[in-house]
């Protein structure tokens, strides 16, 4: 997918020559400018020519670093995924250290804060797909990291082992189990299907409430999105049995 960034050497290995060092630095600079443009104007407006202009080099020079516009965009998308995943994992780790209130509210708030700080990147990750462009396969990994940061604590049975495992109201249990099998296996092994479904519901609510806010759908409707967010996420956590109070 990417043009080899370091000639024939391992892309992560230390640069051997001065030339390699300069190349790495310029690559970083290009990505930085591109990221800034993406944050300012969105993915659709990302243009190699304008990046070249900002870097005061010719447009064709960029082709030494990225083989096409799509290639550059892929790099940016991966960065966005990675940045969001880092952010979610940090929040999860902090919540683990502090104990108490649990990871769900902490991680969800961190994700929301990231989205508000990076609306165009959020759109790139969870918004409408860019037509004619296919996201790189490698996004699977950071995507899973985000979900795991949010939902991982469930695997431990919740803060005080009070996870809600009741399966009351399960429509078509077998079909549902098959439907969510990959998630159950990868993220929540050993937990009942009902929990997996509730976790996915919470995931959908998280993505939905953030998207509604970031994409401007609360205008004149929800005056304080933060309060509503906290409440809705607390409700979700309670449904899962993750709240501090008795479920």
Partner DNA sequence: TGTACATCAGTGAACGCGCGTTCACTGATGTAC
Pick from 114, 193, 190, 192: which is nearest to 150 by CA?
A: 114
Q: What does DSSP assign to residue 8?
A: E
Radius of gyration for the chain, computed over Cα atoms and rounded to the nearest angstrom: 21
Q: Torsions phi, psi of 125, nearest 5? A: -85, -50
Query: Which C-beta is closer to its own copies: that of 25 or that of 235?
Result: 235
How far is residue 93's CA from residue 103's CA, in Å, rounded to a whole number?
8
How far is residue 240's CA from residue 233's CA, in Å, rounded to a whole number?
11
How far is residue 213's CA from residue 208's CA, in Å, rounded to a whole number?
9
Please tell me whether residue 40 binds DNA under the rule CB under 7 A. Answer: no
Q: Which of 33, 39, 54, 70 binds DNA (CB under 7 A)?
A: 70
Please tell me whether residue 11 binds DNA under the rule CB under 7 A. Answer: no
**Which residue shows structure tokens 């929800």?**
222
Residues lying near its own copies in the complex (CB under 8 A): 41-42, 44-45, 123, 126-129, 131, 140, 143, 168-172, 175-176, 178-183, 197-198, 200-201, 203-209, 211-212, 215-217, 220-228, 230-232, 234-236, 238-239, 243, 245
Please tell me whether residue 59 binds DNA under the rule CB under 7 A. Answer: yes
204 binds, among its own copies, DNA, none (CB under 5 to 8 A by kind): its own copies
Q: Say how many residues make up the chain.
A: 247
Cβ(170)–Cβ(72) under 8 Å?
A: no
Please tell me whether residue 13 binds DNA under the rule CB under 7 A. Answer: no
How far is residue 68's CA from residue 90's CA, in Å, rounded to a whole number?
33
How far is residue 76's CA from residue 118's CA, in Å, rounded to a whole number?
13
Least distance (Å) between residue 45 CB and DNA:
8
154 binds, among DNA, its own copies, none (CB under 5 to 8 A by kind): none
Q: Which of 26, 130, 135, 170 binds DNA (CB under 7 A)?
A: 26
69 binds, among its own copies, DNA, none (CB under 5 to 8 A by kind): DNA
Q: Which of 11, 14, 44, 68 binds DNA (CB under 7 A)?
A: 68
Least distance (Å) between residue 186 CB and DNA:
35
Q: Which of 36, 40, 44, 58 binds DNA (CB under 7 A)?
A: 58
């Amino acid at each position: 997918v990417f043009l080899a960034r370091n000639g024939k050497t391992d892309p992560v290995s230390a640069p051997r020559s001065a030339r390699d060092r300069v190349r790495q630095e310029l690559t970083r600079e290009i990505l930085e400018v591109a990221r800034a443009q993406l944050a300012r104007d969105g993915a659709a407006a990302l243009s190699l020519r304008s990046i070249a202009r900002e870097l005061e080099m010719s447009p064709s020079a960029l082709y030494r670093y990225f083989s096409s516009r799509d290639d550059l965009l892929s790099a940016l998308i991966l960065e966005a995924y990675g940045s969001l995943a880092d952010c979610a994992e940090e929040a999860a780790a902090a919540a683990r250290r502090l104990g108490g209130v649990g990871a769900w509210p902490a991680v969800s708030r961190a994700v929301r804060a990231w989205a508000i700080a990076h609306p165009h990147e959020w759109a790139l990750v969870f918004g409408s797909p860019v037509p004619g462009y296919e996201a790189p396969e490698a996004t699977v990994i950071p995507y899973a990291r985000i979900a795991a940061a949010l939902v991982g604590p469930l695997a431990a049975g919740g803060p005080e082992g009070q996870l809600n495992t009741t399966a009351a109201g399960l429509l078509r249990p077998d079909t549902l189990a098959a439907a969510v099998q990959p998630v159950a296996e990868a993220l929540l092994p050993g937990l009942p299907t009902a929990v997996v479904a509730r976790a996915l519901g919470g995931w959908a609510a998280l993505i939905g409430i953030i998207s509604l806010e970031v994409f401007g759908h609360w205008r004149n409707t929800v005056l304080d999105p933060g309060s509503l967010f906290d409440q809705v996420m607390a409700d979700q956590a309670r449904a899962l049995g993750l709240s501090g109070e008795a479920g």
